[in-house]
Amino acid sequence: MRLNKLHMSKYGMFSGEVLDFGERASELPDFHIIFGLNESGKTTSLEAWLDFLFGIKRSSPYGFKHSTAMEIQATLEKGNNLVEYKRIKKTKDSLLDLEDEIVPESVLNVLLGGYTRPDYEVLFTANDQTLEKGGNEILASKGDLGKLLFSASAGMADLSEKLQELQQINDQFYRKGTTKNLLNQIKDELAELKGEWQEKDKVAAVYKLLVVNYEGALNNLELARVSLGSFKTQLVQVSRKIEALRWVSSLSSIQDELKDYKELPPPPQNWRSILDGWGQEMIVTIGRLDQLSREILRMNNKLSENEIDETALDLESRVFKTKAVEASYKSVIRDLPRRIANKDELRTEVASLTSRLGHEFNDVSSKLPDSATIGLIRDLMQENSGIEANYKSTEEELTKATEDMYALQAKLDQEGDLEQEVVTIETLLREIRKKDPRTLLQNTSRDILDAEGEIENGLHKLLPWKGDYRVLQDLKCPSKQEIGSKQKIFEETNRDFREAKGRKENLEQEIRKLESSLDEMDPETVTLENLAEARNRRENQWAKHKSTLDIVTAEQFEMAMRSDDQVTSRAAEQKASKVVRSDREAKIKEFQDLLQVEKQKCQELEKEIERQIAARNCMFASVSGLESMQTTDEFIKWLDLRNETLGSVRKLQVLEARKKYYEEEENRFREDLSYALKEAKIDCKDHWNLETLISTSENLIERHKEIKSLQNQHLRVKVTRQARLNAFTEAKTNKSKWTEKWVKACRRTLFGESTVSAMKENITILDQLIPKVSELNSMMDRIEKMNADQNWFTQNVKELALKLGIEGDDVLQLWKSIEEHVQNNIKINNENRNIKADLENRLEEKQGLEEDLTRINKTITKFGVLYGEKNLEEIKNCCIRAEKYQELKSDEKRVLENIRETMGLPSKQEAVDQVKGLVLSDLESEKGTLEIKLNECERELEERLSIQSHARRELETVSGDDSVARIKEHHENLLIDLQERVRSHLKNKYGIIALEHAIRKFRDTHKSEMMTLASQIFSKISCGNYKSLGTTMEKNKEILTVEPKDGGTMFSRDLS
């Protein structure tokens, strides 16, 4: 597989970027380098290629621009073919072709040779990070690259890790020189269990003493609990009295503070923020009123200082109109002499041009042709050359077309007309080519030979049967369905026989097992007398022990109890054995009856099988030559071969009939074609075959085509001549029309009728004259307007100066004084207007602020009615004292309620009176005494609880508790577990030794090709200072080594 193009349609920062590696260059290395600046997209391109091969990850960091619409397309070279696929971001079915049809992932997996993404990245996408990481892994003998170098080519990639894991497991169980291991832990637990077992294994003689000790411990424990409860109750009561006494002290201080405050109504909610807001608003309003008063005074003074000339304001619009003409007036003074000089020069040039036309200036200026006339004359002169050229060319083309037409007509007169005969022959040829009897006849003959070969081959396969295909057709054979039905019945009968035989053998085996188990059962050995004797002995020993309660009678009773248990157990086993014997004998009888039935069934099925085999052999013998056939499958295979051969026979018959039909078709076509050629006056021989007739017909058709071509050519030439005649007539008409237009145009000028060349010269002079005349007229108009503007400006300035009382002779100086005077008055007027508007706004604002100040004072007065005050600060002080009074009353109520709850009395006053008679020092002394007694009582309770628990455990051990049995069972389980762990430890230990030896021997024998290649590269990059690389084992770990050129061995970790 080769990458030809990578289209990053929607990936990362790219939208439609293409990496084109071109076609594979012959006889050159197919190696490409992609380079670019940092952050230009090199890593993105590499990730795009990996995502195309293995799928875009759900959390891909390259979807910041296109998100779920990510798309990558690639053109791959697969052998000698090019294929194109695209990858989209999708969890399933993300590989598509260019038609958006789903492509299986197996298509790329085959091209990748089974590589997964991690393998591909390690082998084919090395960069700075992966190379550095790989080098560190090699030196540390770990990671994918380390494994690859040490183990992969030897086929043992995980053996070193497995060895290390096994060694760690063994070290956890036991390692020489260590004490903290699993073996020592199990030993310690066994010793602890043995000690506990011996301690708890008491004799029955101490039972009575343990009962007495346990009951005494219970009584002492109950007394300690009662005493502890009493002390706790007393301590709670004293603590409550101390707490109530402290609350009374707080109550006294609150009541003393209340005496300093007279009772005031509570202030409104949020009074502090309301009063502060009013105070702040009053200060701001008063300050703003003072500022407005100063500004109003300043504005009135300014208005009185500004004086205005009303006449200047009335003349404002007239001054603006005069200002608009000022620039024109200055321009006239500057440009008028120059323009008069230019006018005189133009008049001289115009007079010179009119004299060249043979006229005077005054006669020509009013008779110059207009632009339409000159344009018409120019167009007619331009058309003249084309009309003359067209007239000459059409005349020549008409003459040539007439000559060609007469020449072709002479050739056609020499040839005859065979149109009808040729049409008949062409129809026959099309039918012959369509049916192609000769090719069909050849193919059919070839197919007949193939069919005869197939028949001969099929008859050979039917051996040992002998005969030709006609005998085979008449041969009577059973059908495959009939044979298959008989074979199915035979297989079912055979299967029933095997099943019946298997059931018979199973029954015989079960009967033998049951008879053997009956022989192994023990005879009856325990009688009723034995049972009664063992039970009496047990009862007697129990009566003795119960009266004496000593060790000797206890041991005798234990022995009698064990003997009775053994006799009872044997009797129960004997009874159960008797029941089992009876059941097994009945089972044997049942199995023997079933065995007889199965034997009978086997005999019947065996006879049926023999009968079916005989019938099958008779069926085989019905076909001559197949007597030796052994199985039905062979016979069915022979029938298949027979049917295949008969199919070839039927195919041969069809082909022979088809060949006869094609021969008849060929003869019919030959006769029809020969007749048609004779009708076309072609001499045909009767012995000519179909191919010769077809060749003669094709020659006739070709000759007829040439005649048709001449006819078509003659018709085209005739049409062309008519077109040339029409073109010549049109050119002649166009020439006449042009002449009429030319005469009319010339008469509209001062030149009269003239030739085209003379008119060209006159038009050239007119091209110069007309712009000059137009420019002269325009300049004269401009000079006249400039004189008018100058007169109007002078008169207007003098009138304005007279009205404003300004004197002077210079017009421009007068105008400057007028303009300044008017502008100053306009400026002062605008300033006064703005001051008046601001003054009105300030007065309006002042009135509003005075109303706000009146409203605030009224609101404060209304608020102070509650306390009889009008001043804002006095009202604030009253609110503070009222708020403090309400707070103290709330604290007094809360403290009284706490005292009542602490003392547990219904009345608050009663609780206060009772607490006031107490002394705090006496209560604290009593509390300390009670806490000491409570601690002593708790320690005593813990000691008595421990004594009671110990007595109960000892009593349970002696009185039949199974703790000793559980300890024994745990002890035995630990021993079994220890044996298994020791066995596994030894097995792992010897296996590790053998495996290490085998790995070392194998690697010494089969040094990997990768290690060899790595050695060569390392020797090259170290300039020959080191000869090769190798490995060695160190503490169950493989370490990389190097061999210097001077000999010896060094560890890789010792290199720079």
Work out the average pLDDT over 867-891: 75
H or E element in which residue 17 lies: strand 17-20
Res 251 pLDDT > 90? no
Q: Contact at 8 Å (CB) between 281 and 856?
A: yes
Inform me whether the pLDDT recorded for 1028 exceeds 50: yes
Apex 943 CA angle, 941 and 944, nearest 5: 65
Confidence tier at 960 by pLDDT (50, 70, 90): very low
User: Quick check: 690 and 438 in contact, CB under 8 A?
Assistant: yes
Average pLDDT of the residues of the chain: 77
Predicted pLDDT of residue 202: 47
pLDDT confidence band for 146 (50 / 70 / 90):
very low
Quick one: pLDDT at residue 1009? 62
Q: pTM for this structure? A: 0.28
Residue labelled with tokens 């000059």: 772
Lowest-pLDDT range, 599-603, 828-832, 1017-1021?
828-832
As a whole number, mean pLDDT of residues 976-983 equals 80
Long-range contacts, 180-189 (Cβ 8 Å, 24+)? 182/981, 183/978, 183/981, 183/982, 186/974, 186/977, 186/978, 186/981, 189/974
Residue 501's pLDDT band (boundaries 50, 70, 90)?
confident
Answer yes or no: is pLDDT of 603 > 60.
yes
Largest CA distance in the chain: 185
pLDDT at position 608, please? 86
Give the C-alpha separation, 914 to 808, whole Å.
Answer: 121
Angle, helices 756-804 vs 811-864, to 10°: value is 60
For the record, the structure tokens of 633 come out as 């499958």
Name the band, by pLDDT with cuts 50, 70 and 90, for residue 154. Answer: very low
pLDDT tier at 572 (50, 70, 90 boundaries)? confident
Choice among 239-243, 413-417, 923-927, 942-946 with the minimum mean pLDDT:
413-417
Q: Most confidently modeled of 57-71, 460-474, 1036-1050?
A: 57-71
* Pick from 97-111, 114-128, 736-750, 961-975: least confident: 961-975
- The first and second tokens of residue 487, run together, are 């074979």
Which is higher by pLDDT, 253 or 131? 253
Q: For 878-925, give the DSSP string.
A: HHHHHHHHHHHHHHHHHHHHHHHHHHT-S-HHHHHHHHHT--HHHHHH
DSSP code at position 493: H
Instruction: pLDDT band for 6, please (50, 70, 90 cuts).
Output: very high
- pLDDT bin (cut points 50, 70, 90) of residue 73 is very high
Q: What percent of the chain has pLDDT over 70?
A: 86
Is residue 1022 predicted with pLDDT exceeding 80?
yes
Mean pLDDT in residue range 790-812: 77
Token pair for 1017: 């590269």
Model confidence at 500, in pLDDT bands (50, 70, 90)? confident
C-alpha separations of 790 from 315, 323, 795 in Å? 21, 13, 9
Q: Residue range 203-220: average pLDDT?
A: 62
**Is 90 exceeded by the pLDDT of residue 72?**
yes
Query: Cα(922)–Cα(242) distance, rounded to whole angstroms?
Result: 10
**DSSP H or E segment with residue 1050:** strand 1050-1051
Query: Nearest 5°: CA angle at 35, between 30 and 41?
Result: 115
- Region 89-107 average pLDDT: 86
**Coil, strand, or helix at residue 948?**
helix
Q: What are the residues whose beta carbons fall under 8 Å from the beta carbon of 874, sequence distance 6 or more?
A: 864, 867
| Contact assessment for residue 306 and residue 827, using Cβ atoms and an 8 Å cutoff | no
> Confidence band (pLDDT; 50, 70, 90) for 155?
very low
For the record, the structure tokens of 589 come out as 């009888």
CA angle, 108 then 113 then 116, to 5°? 75
pLDDT value of residue 670: 77
d(CA 451, CA 910) in angstroms, rounded, equals: 136
- CA 518 to mean position of chain CA atoms: 75
Whole-angstrom Cα distance, residue 536 to residue 543? 11
Position with higher pLDDT, 88 vs 249: 88
d(CA 663, CA 498): 66
- Most confident option among 611-625, 891-905, 1002-1016: 891-905
**Length, in residues, of the chain:** 1056
Q: What is the dihedral of CA 656, 661, 665, 667, to 10 degrees?
A: 70
- Residue 153 pLDDT: 37
Judge whether residue 183 has pLDDT over 70: yes
Q: Give me the mean pLDDT over the 723-751 stretch.
A: 80
pLDDT at 811 over 80: no
Lowest mean pLDDT among 65-74, 352-361, 593-602, 716-725: 352-361
What separation in angstroms does the CA of 61 have from each of 48, 57, 90, 124, 211? 11, 9, 15, 21, 79
In this predicted structure, the answer to whether residue 881 has a pLDDT above a threshold of 90 is: no
Tell me the mean pLDDT in the region 598-615: 84
